[in-house]
Structure 1
């Protein structure tokens, strides 16, 4: 599977962060110098400036006045104007980029990454959305406005994380034979994928009840087109070994494993088995648990994407709770649900987070009521799998997930808090255990 485009996008993000850090560092140094020199009321010549900033120490020595080392991510000493680019691995959290109005703190969808034990611990940002249906109900809108149209209002939230993940709710194919005996059968064009990739999406789960809407031919085409677009996938395969295999992505030196499973499969013959192509199922947890345990040996963080629940119901069924806890007991660090087409709440179990359903994201043009409530879930995670969560509330308007502000945002977050289990969703979107 080609990773070149995804890896290139990660490199571009890192380079952008480095540029932000350098510009902000120079601004701070210049401002600090003016303040210090103004405060002491002196005129400093070149020799005096050298003495002021370190008693003749070499520029870029990286040492404090007492000789101790600075953070490795700082390439220059306190008096150094030349700031070299930091390495991608082990970077400290980037400084905010100044906005057009001079404010050095642009809006960010991510929870703040805090240092651990006095040092900047490497943490990765993962973001998730619910069901993605780039076709069918919004095909005409995309044909008129472009395939990137659904992502335009939410682009900041999609392009910012290290890894952006969703649930692809339809086959991507120009061929296939529509399955019979189910009420809804979908199909999407391969032309939709470049816009999805360029919006920021890195990974798609295919473990859902629509993966075989166009038969095995449609499933295989989907796998091929995603690969060609540089988008990773999991949850289907030529046999159960492939379908349950984790997709592993590495970012900032941290390996993240994604496992896709579905408790909603129209026909038993669609379940992947030994020498049988199809979908990774979780009607019971044996094979999912085995996959999770295996993934813990390969990755630092394990994410389970699961398709489950009752359509239109905003609270999880008991079996969802039991399965989620079984996944975490097996080693999962995050459990992210889809299928009900509405938002469900959150739960923290043994220090790990469960998002029972993230609702619809790119799905219909103007879904009504709870079906139009959506958002982007951010998780900033350490290599030990400890994650901080934040939900960015949105409403789908003309097929575009549109960020909510003010009272509308607070109202949606408050409702999510009321349906969560032992967890509170605060007015800023942060999710904490009660």
Structure 2
């Protein structure tokens, strides 16, 4: 099985204009044939896809992309996006949940964030032939994490993460941990 994993997919600024102009091949260039040749493609969605205008207060930039950016993920053939990162909560819980809902509506799975901590820390599993492969996603403790009943990313907590990883590993043949 060929799995492609990339980081920090953030369709903002100039990339947004390529989406609006339906020039998505220009974004991928030589990468598109590589993406089309894999069995499963994963990327870190570094910003929420939302129409929300309510950025959280934080140091550093609050970034987001528009919901039509999902077309770029679909064009690339991405099957799964990791959401545990320092920007997924930039537009609050609505931004997180908008992103998850939009991905799921477009048959793109998500891991690493959720409506609460219990959802955010769940591993995601796929089957390929006789193999079961798991993905577990966690983020450093920054502005995007959840610690209870609010939406956000799965926080880096070495003790809790070790239990979650052990539990996920018992349910699959291979587990990929993406930090």
TM-score for the superposition, normalised by structure 1: 0.39
Q: How does 1:177-192 map to 2 (within 5 A)?
A: 177-192=54-69
Q: 1:293: which partner in 2?
A: 166
Q: How does 1:262-273 map to 2 (within 5 A)?
A: 262-266=139-143, 270-273=144-147
CA distance in structure 2 between the aligned counterparts of 1:149 and 1:208, rounded to whole angstroms: 26
For 1:169-211, what per-residue CA distance to the aligned partner results, in whole angstroms no more than 9, with x for missing partners? 1000112411223321111122121332232211111000000
Aligned match for 1:247, one of 101, 124, 136: 124
CA distance in structure 1 between the aligned counterparts of 2:114 and 2:42, rounded to whole angstroms: 19
- After the TM superposition, which parts of structure 1 deviate over 6 Å for at least 4 consecutive aligned residues? none
Is 1:302 aligned with 2:179? no
Quick one: higher RCO (CA 8 Å, sep 6+), 1 or 2? 2
Q: Secondary structure at the match of 1:248?
A: strand
Q: Which runs of 5+ in 2 are unaligned?
A: none
Q: 2:103: which partner in 1?
A: 226
CA distance in structure 2 between the aligned counterparts of 1:193 and 1:240, rounded to whole angstroms: 25
For 1:20-63, what per-residue CA distance to the aligned partner results, in whole angstroms no more than 9, with x for missing partners? xxxxxxxxxxxxxxxxxxxxxxxxxxxxxxxxxxxxxxxxxxxx
Q: Which runs of 5+ in 1 are unaligned?
A: 1-123, 307-434
Deviation of 1:147 (Å): 3.6
Deviation of 1:142 (Å): 3.2
Q: 1:199: which partner in 2?
A: 76
Q: Secondary structure at the match of 2:176?
A: strand
Instruction: Say if 1:142 and 1:149, in contact at 8 Å, map to a contact too.
Output: no
Deviation of 1:145 (Å): 4.9
For 1:135-194, what per-residue CA distance to the aligned partner results, in whole angstroms no more than 9, with x for missing partners? 234222433352443123211111111111111110001124112233211111221213
CA distance in structure 2 between the aligned counterparts of 1:232 and 1:202, rounded to whole angstroms: 6
For 1:345-365, what per-residue CA distance to the aligned partner results, in whole angstroms no more than 9, with x for missing partners? xxxxxxxxxxxxxxxxxxxxx
CA distance in structure 2 between the aligned counterparts of 1:216 and 1:139, rounded to whole angstroms: 23
Aligned match for 1:258, one of 135, 138, 144: 135
Q: How does 1:300-379 map to 2 (within 5 A)?
A: 300-306=173-179
Instruction: Say if 2:133 and 2:172, in contact at 8 Å, map to a contact too.
Output: yes
CA distance in structure 2 between the aligned counterparts of 1:206 and 1:220, rounded to whole angstroms: 11
Q: 1:275: which partner in 2?
A: 149
Q: Secondary structure at the match of 2:64?
A: coil
CA distance in structure 1 between the aligned counterparts of 2:150 and 2:141, rounded to whole angstroms: 18
Instruction: Say if 1:176 and 1:217, in contact at 8 Å, map to a contact too.
Output: no
Q: How does 1:2-401 map to 2 (within 5 A)?
A: 124-266=1-143, 270-282=144-156, 284-306=157-179
The root-mean-square deviation of aligned C-alpha atoms, in Å, is: 1.7
CA distance in structure 1 between the aligned counterparts of 2:40 and 2:13, rounded to whole angstroms: 27
In 2 relative to 1, CA 271–145 (structure 1 residues): closer, same or farther, beyond 3 Å?
closer
Instruction: Say if 1:244 and 1:287, in contact at 8 Å, map to a contact too.
Output: no
Name which one, 1 or 2, has greater alpha-carbon Rg.
Answer: 1
CA distance in structure 2 between the aligned counterparts of 1:137 and 1:248, rounded to whole angstroms: 34
